[in-house]
Structure 1
């Protein structure tokens, strides 16, 4: 049947998902203990630090694959902690711009070495250089295929029917 995974595909799928879960759990544990950050907050700081410019909330949401409401909440928390600043976009008043602060850059720099060490210990130390290249090539191809679909921010939102109108 075309709608079933072959045994090797199923084995590979579950090995990938379990590996990602185990790695993400350990990364999250490190980020919480060393920086009082969630994995998503770290991703947002990393994206902003790497961009070296203000990003729109939509760019951030698409970059870290997060819902609009989830991003709004996380950006609010990071803003409260003084790690990011949000401002209205002077060119598009419907958009909000986000930039990392000096405190955010410092926090990111403080947790990055431990984050790298977790990735080395759990993932890269188990692989040869050829393995790393092959895995990187494969995952880039898969990611690019997935990213070719419209971003989550472009999806229309389902409107909720008020409970009073449901009956």
Structure 2
């Protein structure tokens, strides 16, 4: 990498770390909820409140074991429940509980405000749109690279 590329790369890494840490801290302080747990709740809510565990892991680019551990914690907190799939009876489904839906409704405005305050409102529309295009390109390229994700 040349110097400019190195600076941009380091800025991306620093910015993502600080942004994720701040968004996570906001959720933990207000709701005793981590950012990954919040993202699980969002994915479930966007899929009629339930998803197969494997599909949920894929949608978050998490390993199967990581999503299992996260769901176990959330299940203990009463935010989700696991049940057999109605499709084939073999697969496991994570479903958002009533308590989970309520917590998501409470936490969402704080999270959205954080995303706006810490990112969207700091950059111009064109830069934010460019960021989205860049990260979509990266995601599209790497989404098939599941073995590296599974090894985490």
TM-score, L = length of structure 2: 0.89
The structural deviation recorded for 1:131 is: 1.7
**Using the alignment, how far apart are the partners of 1:152 and 1:104 within structure 2?**
31
Judge conservation of contact 1:67–1:152 (CA < 8 Å) in 2: no
* Aligned match of 1:107: 103
CA contact (8 A) 2:63 2:149 kept: no
> Which residue of the partner structure matches residue 98 of structure 1?
94
| Structure label with greater radius of gyration | 1
Alpha-carbon distance change, 64 to 150 in structure 1, aligned in 2, over 3 angstroms = same
Preserved contact between residue 68 and residue 153 of structure 1 (Cα < 8 Å): no
Hey, what's the Cα distance between the residues in 2 that align with 1:138 and 1:22? 19
Structure 1 gaps, min length 5: 158-167
The CA deviation at 1:152 is 4.9
Q: Name which of 54, 60, 82 aligns with 2:56.
A: 60
Inter-CA distance 116–53: structure 2 relative to 1 (3 Å threshold): closer
The match for 1:164 is none
Q: In 1, distance between residues paired with 2:145 and 2:138?
A: 15
Structure-1-length-normalised TM-score: 0.81
